[in-house]
Amino acid sequence: MERKILFGLNTVTFQHPFDQKALTALNKTPGLSLLLNKVNEYGIDRLLRMQILGGEFRVTPRNFPQLHDAFAESCEILDLSPQPELYLFRGTGHIHTNAVGVEKPMVSVNLEAMEWYSYEELLFAFGYEIARVKGKYIAYQQIANVMPMLKNLVNGTTFGLGGLAAGGIELGLYNWIIMSKFTCDRAGLLACQDINVAITALMKLAGLPSDYLNADTIADFTAQAREFGSISLDNLDQVTKIFSFMEYQVPWSVMRASELLKWVDSGEYDKLLQAENLEQPEVTSENTEDSEDWQFMSSW
């Protein structure tokens, strides 16, 4: 399959509206700038990079050619330059990918991702992480990853930011991380350019081994995702939302597949893929102020 290279692709072009609104709300949260300053002050970015350099395998065309080639193609398709360094880390029992480094991004995948994903599914996985690099999401993601330590630092200062404010930032971060997955999944689809590949990649991410992937399980998963998209959860208890969304590292594969299918069904995916000029993103009904809102503490 010949995949289209999306020259001039901008994250805004495919950003999910829920992601956009959650990020806007997060940036208005009191105390966020203080946390960002603390991250810089304590060199979190440098420490995370050192952790990768000191403990993971750098991927090259010689040692892990399929990983290298899939990553290089994903970067080319999504117009990311310069290409970040790619690393492979130990198995964790489930598929996991990651990106760190605000100034100099680095992407990592684990052994399961390399062994369980096909070449095309790797394109989806790498596209997901590339979106985080292109969208400059890494700084916020790193705050969430070290949030327990940051809360102790902030609560121990005399800046007048107590645990309640830090907790508000934490919940805002978890909300945004979930919403940002929808944008990153769109980038993954743009990289592999096959919705069926994206669906099977999400199924494997949810923990289903390849041996159980067949026409019936794929069809049932797709039906479940479409059903999820049609359910109104406006009356869900807010405390339940808090505890569910605090598990922000859960794959949420059904929910993500639901949103990805909506994007494809809307025709916006095909329209973007066929566009000749991607440097000036269009304003569509999806990202106007009148679009449906998905707020963490209100409607879901």
65 within domain boundaries: yes
Do the domain assignments include residue 2?
no
Q: Assess if residue 296 is contained within a domain.
A: no
Q: Is residue 22 part of a domain?
A: yes
Predicted local distance difference test score (pLDDT) of residue 230: 78
Q: Is there a domain that residue 76 lies in?
A: yes
Name, in order, each residue with C-beta under 8 angstroms of 228's C-beta and a sequence gap of 6 or more: 254, 255, 258
- Number of independent structural domains in the chain: 1
pLDDT given for residue 298 in this prediction: 43
Domain contains 294 = no
Residues of the chain with pLDDT under 70: 148-167, 232-248, 279-300
> Are the C-beta atoms of residues 192 and 124 closer than 8 Å to each other?
yes
The residue segments making up the domain with residue 72 are 11-287
Q: In the prediction, which pLDDT does 31 show?
A: 77
- Decide if 41 is inside a domain: yes
> Can you give the pLDDT at residue 285?
39
* pLDDT at 43 (0 to 100): 83
Per-residue pLDDT reduced to its tens digit, 35-91: 777 777 778 888 889 999 999 999 999 999 999 999 999 999 999 999 999 999 999
Whether the full predicted model's pTM is greater than 0.95, yes or no, is no
Q: In the beta sheet, which residues pair with residue 108?
A: 87, 98
Answer yes or no: are the C-beta atoms of 281 and 10 closer than 8 Å: yes
Question: Could you tell me if residue 167 is inside a domain?
Answer: yes
Predicted pLDDT of residue 151: 64
Report whether 287 contacts 19 (CB < 8 A): no
